[in-house]
Amino acid sequence: MTNPNVVVSDTQSAIAMAITAVSGNNPTLFPPSVTSPYNINMFSRNKFPKSMETASMGSHVGGGKNIGWVDAMRASSPTRNSSENSEEKKNWIMKHPSALGVFEEIMSAAKMKQVVIFLDYDGTLSPIVSNPDQAYMAPEMREAVKNVAKYFPTAIVSGRCRAKVYNFVRLSELYYAGSHGMDIKGPSSRKHKKGNQNVLCQPAKEFLPMLAEVYKILLEKTKGIAGANVENNKFCLSVHFRCVEEESWSDLAYRVKYVLKDYPKLRLTQGRKVLEIRPTIKWDKGKAIEFLLESLGYANSKDVLPIYIGDDRTDEDAFRVLRERGQGFGILVSKVPKETQATYSLQEPFEVMHFLQRLVTLKRSILRSH
């Protein structure tokens, strides 16, 4: 890799190096890494998702001209009032069955393969809360994640700043991909690594001064909207509107867009009750898991089963990558039907914890039998 913003200790490329992840006592599951440099390109405006393009047409408050963005904000933040027994829900569950209900089927696909676990944080490991600074994970969930990481390479892939996610999780043996994968760092411990190399990927480093500048402007421009919360996630910015009255959404969207019109190298996307400002580079959670899999030595391997669990629209990029690879599974965490590229579903973080616990129990039983 020649990109100066992607760094590894020593002189090896992050993509070229093989980080040996050991499952039990079988190190042969990890083939050598294949070198293939990543090209970090800029998004062209005509390649934005259609929903975002449509929404961007409305550039003024009032007169319905900003209605596209409000509709998009609603679509990205569905209510949870759907009947648990609705026909729509039943049909959706048939299409995306519970990962707990088909656990044996998933494990059958994992035979003779190395499972690699990717986890979103908010809404997946912790509940969605009004104050993003209080999105703590339960001690039982932390224990489940810690145990999973003993047997499987495990990564947290979040829109949050990597340092914030680490402060919530506090497990040094994990990989952390913050800012939607634009800030990746490997574990400090060496359980799943070969030698002393430490993977570090920061493809949007050049945007840091610009993002810091926009953060200060957004703080000033949004302070008149009750409930609006601007969060600096280092390589991206988040404008939370979970506590904003819906009649103010249009005003908030306009203010954010008004600021960004002077920054064409930044783009606006959406998550659950959040507007997100990111650099216009072709990098997302999907690219992040590709980078991690290649760093682990699985660029073109058939001996790996990636499992990605997430609840947000931004996780769809990762689900899509797994579908395109034709291996592994995406698991959407949601109580309501949503359009998704995920194969399976789970209802809430409690079910995520149960799924992780079952993975550990099964792995331990296999090791005992040997």
- Considering only CA atoms, which of 233, 136, 146, 124 is closest in space to residue 183? 233
- Between 121 and 25, the higher pLDDT residue: 121
* Cα separations in angstroms, 284 against 22, 123, 187, 264, 274: 27, 18, 21, 18, 16
Distance CA 245, CA 349 (A): 26
Please report the pLDDT score of residue 77 as a whole number: 62
**Ordered DSSP codes for 39-76:** P--BPPGGGS-HHHHHHHT--SSSTTTTHHHHHHHHHH
Average pLDDT over residues 336-345: 96
pLDDT at 174 over 50: yes
Which whole number is the average pLDDT over 40-48? 40
pLDDT at 57 over 50: no
pLDDT at position 334, please?
96
Provide CB contacts within 8 A for 198, sequence distance 6+: 8, 9, 185, 186, 188
> From the CB of residue 293, how many other CB atoms can be counted at a distance below 10 Å?
25
pTM: 0.78
For the stretch 287-305, pLDDT in tens is 999 999 999 989 889 999 9
Q: Residue 91 pLDDT more than 60?
A: yes
Q: How confident is the model at residue 273 (pLDDT cuts 50, 70, 90)?
A: confident
What is the per-residue pLDDT across 188-234, written as a single tens digit (0 to 9) for each? 765 544 333 566 899 999 999 999 999 999 999 999 999 999 999 99
Q: Taking 90 as the threshold, does the pLDDT of residue 68 lie above it? A: no
